[in-house]
Amino acid sequence: MTRKSLITLVVMALLAILPPVFYWTGNAFYLDLATRLTILAIAAVSLNLILGYGGMISFGHAAYLGLGAYAVGIPAFHWLYDGIGDWATNGLIHIGIAVAVSAIFALITGAICLRTRGVYFIMITMAFAQMVYYLIVSIEHYGGDDGLVIDTRSELPLLNLDNPLHLFGLAYVSLVVAMLLVNMIVNSRFGMVLQAAKGNNERTVTLGFNTYLYRLTAYVISGAMAGYAGALLGNFTTFISPEMMDWRASGELMFMVILGGATTIGGPVLGAAAFILLEEVLVDTLGWLESPLHSLLGTEVELSNFWHLPFGLLLIVIVLYVRGGLMGLLGRGED
């Protein structure tokens, strides 16, 4: 077993054990934090498939999170106000809609985006995501930019998603399945071609592979996985808004992948954990410093609004000096 595999197993073991223990000891906040972390890790794992292994830098991946969340919220909204039937609260239907809509959106947009390369690909993925963002903002019936409250969570067999442990358990098992799926894909013939196209697309084409179709297939799989994560996120927050699919949310997913280590199975999970935990620490620390700073300067400054600044500096350090992100740093020397 490699050191990186061992690190992944340790991270997943801690993620499985610590949150329920905190919950049973009266610290429910940490279970909620772990649930959010786990759901975002699924989205980061899906992004890593195309970014890390496929070389496709998508700046619009959060759109699939938003589509998945609205696939839960919109049927629940009509169930409550229009009485359209109990099927509208069926979790399997919610998940099916989330995955199908995300996959179709990825297929349509990916077919266009993958005609471009480099910075043009980055910009066009962001443009499509922003189109969805402004579309949702314009639909006042579903709350517009004020968002939409999900009054009832999805109903699934043998699970009660109103129970925090059940919701965390579903998210955790889904993360494990997502990691195994990506691992299976990247180590298959399909994954080898995808990685070869990332390294040298022209040479891969001359070998007889239609790299466009390989990339598009990976793009659709990635979008569908992120849509599933969005359905879980909608059930977790019970509130959805267009902010879920803003370009800044896409940037955060990219940050998780790069911070943890692209082209590794456990890197996005480690990156998501580092991102969520650092966010909490920075917001609390900056909030604690606000009062002394107010007294010193004689003016009010909301330091907690600037918690992204240290993340930006950290990203610069990771990119310049730590090859392979945190996973590369912790697994250094195994080769």
Got the DSSP string for 278-289?
Answer: HHHHHHHHHHHH
Query: With contact defined as beta carbons under 8 Å apart, do 31 and 165 qualify?
Result: yes
Note whether residue 47 is domain-resident. yes
Q: What is the pLDDT of residues 55-93, one digit of tens each?
A: 999 999 999 999 999 999 999 888 877 777 777 788 999
Check whether 54 has a pLDDT greater than 90.
Answer: yes
Domain with 171 in it? 3-330
Q: What is the pLDDT of residues 256-281, one digit of tens each?
A: 999 888 889 999 999 999 889 888 87
Query: With contact defined as beta carbons under 8 Å apart, do 237 and 156 qualify?
Result: no
Give the pLDDT confidence score for residue 305 in this predicted structure: 66
Q: What is the pLDDT of residues 157-178, one digit of tens each?
A: 889 999 999 999 999 999 999 9
pLDDT confidence tier of residue 211, bands split at 50, 70 and 90? very high
Give the pLDDT confidence score for residue 321 in this predicted structure: 79
Report the alpha-carbon distance of residue 258 to residue 254 in Å, rounded. Answer: 6
Note whether residue 140 is domain-resident. yes
Give the pLDDT confidence score for residue 278 in this predicted structure: 84
- Show the tokens assigned to 56: 């496709």
135-160: average pLDDT: 88
Note whether residue 316 is domain-resident. yes
Phi, psi of 152, rounded to the nearest 5 degrees: -140, 135
Question: Into how many domains does the chain fold?
Answer: 1
Note whether residue 268 is domain-resident. yes
Report the alpha-carbon distance of residue 27 to residue 230 in Å, rounded. Answer: 25
Report the alpha-carbon distance of residue 103 to residue 315 in Å, rounded. Answer: 30
Give the pLDDT confidence score for residue 304 in this predicted structure: 61
Q: What is the pLDDT of residues 215-226, one digit of tens each?
A: 999 999 999 999
Check whether 335 has a pLDDT greater than 60.
Answer: no
Note whether residue 157 is domain-resident. yes
Give the pLDDT confidence score for residue 289 in this predicted structure: 61
Q: How many CB atoms lie within 10 A of CB 227?
A: 30
Q: What is the pLDDT of residues 296-323, one digit of tens each?
A: 555 565 666 666 777 778 778 877 877 7
Give the pLDDT confidence score for residue 302 in this predicted structure: 64
Query: With contact defined as beta carbons under 8 Å apart, do 273 and 11 qualify?
Result: yes
pLDDT confidence tier of residue 101, bands split at 50, 70 and 90? very high
Report the alpha-carbon distance of residue 246 to residue 137 in Å, rounded. Answer: 11
CA nearest 250: which of 226, 221, 214?
Answer: 226
Phi, psi of 7, rounded to the nearest 5 degrees: -60, -45
Give the pLDDT confidence score for residue 290 in this predicted structure: 59
Q: Can you give the CATH number for the domain in which 285 is found? A: 1.10.3470
Report the alpha-carbon distance of residue 90 to residue 259 in Å, rounded. Answer: 36
pLDDT confidence tier of residue 152, bands split at 50, 70 and 90? confident
- Show the tokens assigned to 268: 């996005």
Query: With contact defined as beta carbons under 8 Å apart, do 44 and 177 qualify?
Result: no
Note whether residue 138 is domain-resident. yes
Report the alpha-carbon distance of residue 36 to residue 325 in Å, rounded. Answer: 22
Task: Please tell me the pTM assigned to this model.
Answer: 0.92
Check whether 15 has a pLDDT greater than 60.
Answer: yes
Note whether residue 143 is domain-resident. yes
Q: What is the dihedral of CA 280, 283, 286, 288, to 10 degrees?
A: -80
pLDDT confidence tier of residue 295, bands split at 50, 70 and 90? low
How many CA atoms are closer than 13 Å to the CA of 132, on its beta-carbon side?
27
Average pLDDT score, the chain? 88
Task: Give the whole-number percent of the chain exceeding pLDDT 70.
Answer: 91
Note whether residue 335 is domain-resident. no
pLDDT confidence tier of residue 35, bands split at 50, 70 and 90? very high
